[in-house]
């Protein structure tokens, strides 16, 4: 397989799309490809230096005439500059808006500079919010459709998201499903007593949730489920991440009188030590395009109690890897979480099944799919 020069445009913030984009770039670099990252700040999982990885910070111009910074234009300009001088083969945009749109502008900027029809091929991966939130806004629908149709190739992280995209936009482009992935050489269960000591947790069961605390994550439901659990069993809740719903969640914790049993840990990059001591993950989201945090938990042997929504059913089998219930079913989720916490043999079976399921989404397998996808785009006229 040829060695390629690949640009990756992604969000740098805490969340699944940024994590996947970064891990993909790192894995591609390890296989000998040259990778250029474009974002407003260094992606949160980028980590240490690699000779095949380059990061380009997108500086936004501030000028009194502009009410808001023009990030889309600044990103387009940076992509055009790097693509021309570094001779990128592919620009992989994670999210249609703004990343694919900026890449489209970059292609137009370079029309008179490149001898070929395009300086680079544009691959766009849909992660969810660009379709289900931004794309659902009537004022943005035509922009999202344009970004999809003008891409050379489009992928989605789940069959659910592909179906939603087709239903909402009727795109001309064929959408290929390439699911999210997890590196099981990094994500595996390795419990350390000192982590419990640092958290002030003894032998009680541990419930965990990891997200960016947006409304769709239903953080309030997590607090209500945990409160119900706390009436029946000793347990501690670890909340990893931050976002707009945190303040309300902290208020709810105080109202329920469970402050001493809930830990708000903020945004953490290395989550494996926490997953390694966790017994159940709660993911009561209204919808998840895939649910990367759940897959990473499963790789660490943590059964998941989640919603029968979005991409969860594509990799979580109820009764085997945890349980799936209707969004808002607090009583049902409490019951299933309690079952896992109280039946040790059932938990052991579920934990091992989770580990085996996660191996089907091993990084190397999915990165190879992306490599082949890039190759097909480059071979197309």
Torsion sign, CA atoms 80, 86, 89, 93? negative
Task: Give the long-range contacts of residues 194-199, CB within 8 A, separation 24 or more.
Answer: 195/273, 195/274, 195/276, 195/277, 196/277, 199/236, 199/238, 199/263
229: Cβ–Cβ under 8 A, 6 or more apart, which residues? 207, 235, 334, 337, 338, 341
| pLDDT at residue 371, rounded to an integer | 96
Note the maximum CA span of the chain: 70
Q: Write out the DSSP string of 77-146.
A: HHHHHHHHHHT-SEEEEESIIIIIHHHHHHHHHTTTT-SSS-SSEEEEEE-SHHHHTTTTSGGGHHHHHH
Beginning with the edge strand found earlier in the chain, give each strand of the sheet holding 53-57 in spatial order: 53-57, 34-39, 5-9, 90-94, 121-126, 153-156, 175-177
For the full predicted model, state whether its pTM sits above 0.75. Answer: yes
Report the interhelical angle of 101-109 vs 71-86 (nearest 10°): 50
Residues 119 and 107: beta-carbon distance below 8 Å: yes
- CA 2 to chain CA centroid, nearest Å: 28
How high is the mean pLDDT in each 10-residue block of the chain (381 residues)? 91 77 93 93 74 87 58 91 94 92 93 77 88 64 89 95 91 94 95 90 94 93 96 94 94 96 93 97 94 96 96 96 97 97 97 98 95 93 64
- Return the number of other C-beta atoms located less than 10 Å from residue 287's C-beta: 18
- CATH number of the domain located at residue range(s) 193-360 in this protein: 3.40.50.2000
Q: Give the model's pLDDT for residue 63.
A: 52
The Cα–Cα gap between 363 and 368 comes to 8
CATH topology match: 5-181+362-379 vs 193-360: yes
Q: Which pLDDT belongs to residue 202?
A: 87
Q: Which stretches of 264-362 are DSSP H helices?
A: 272-275, 292-299, 330-342, 344-358
d(CA 270, CA 147): 34
The confidence score (pLDDT) of residue 381 equals 64
Per-residue pLDDT, 112: 84
Tokens of 124: 């766009």
Domain spans of the chain, in order of start: 5-181+362-379, 193-360
CATH for the stretch 5-181+362-379: 3.40.50.2000
pLDDT of residue 157: 95
> How far, in Å, CA of 246 to CA of 244, rounded?
6
Q: State the pLDDT at residue 29.
A: 94
Q: 92 — alpha (psi -120 to 50), left (phi > 0) or beta?
A: beta
The DSSP 8-state label assigned to residue 216 in this structure reads G
């Amino acid at each position: 397989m040829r060695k390629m020069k690949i640009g990756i445009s992604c969000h740098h913030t805490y969340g699944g799309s940024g994590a996947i984009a970064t891990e993909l770039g790192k894995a591609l670099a390890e296989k000998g490809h040259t990778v250029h990252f474009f974002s407003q700040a260094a992606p949160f999982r980028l980590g240490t230096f690699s000779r095949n990885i380059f990061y380009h910070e997108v500086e936004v111009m501030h000028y009194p005439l502009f009410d808001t910074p023009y990030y889309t234009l600044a990103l387009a300009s940076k992509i055009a500059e790097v693509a021309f001088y570094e001779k990128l083969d592919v620009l992989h945009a994670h999210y249609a808006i703004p990343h694919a749109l900026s890449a489209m502008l970059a292609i137009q900027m370079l029309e008179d500079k490149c001898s070929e029809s395009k300086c680079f091929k544009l691959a766009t991966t849909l992660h969810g919010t660009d379709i289900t939130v931004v794309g659902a806004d009537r004022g943005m629908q035509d922009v999202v459709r344009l970004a999809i149709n003008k891409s050379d190739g489009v992928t989605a992280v789940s069959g659910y998201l592909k179906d939603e995209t087709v239903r909402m936009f009727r795109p001309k482009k064929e959408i290929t499903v390439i699911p999210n992935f997890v590196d099981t050489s990094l994500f595996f269960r390795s419990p350390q007593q000192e982590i419990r000591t640092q958290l002030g947790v003894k032998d009680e069961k541990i419930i965990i949730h990891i997200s960016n605390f947006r409304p769709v994550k239903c953080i309030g439901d997590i607090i209500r489920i945990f409160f119900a659990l706390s009436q029946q069993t000793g347990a501690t809740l670890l909340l990893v991440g931050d976002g707009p719903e945190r303040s309300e969640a902290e208020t709810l914790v105080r109202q329920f009188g469970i402050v001493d049993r809930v830990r708000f840990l903020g945004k953490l990059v290395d989550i494996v030590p926490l997953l390694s001591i966790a017994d159940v993950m709660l993911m009561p989201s209204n919808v998840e395009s895939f649910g990367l945090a759940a897959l990473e938990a499963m790789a660490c042997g943590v059964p998941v109690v989640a919603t029968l929504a979005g991409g969860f059913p594509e990799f979580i089998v109820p009764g085997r890897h945890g349980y799936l219930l209707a969004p808002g079913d607090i009583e049902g989720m409490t019951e299933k979480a309690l079952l896992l916490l109280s039946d040790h043999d059932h938990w052991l079976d579920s934990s091992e099944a989770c580990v085996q399921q996660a191996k089907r989404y091993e990084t190397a397998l999915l990165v190879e799919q992306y490599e082949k996808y890039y190759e097909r785009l480059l071979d197309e006229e």
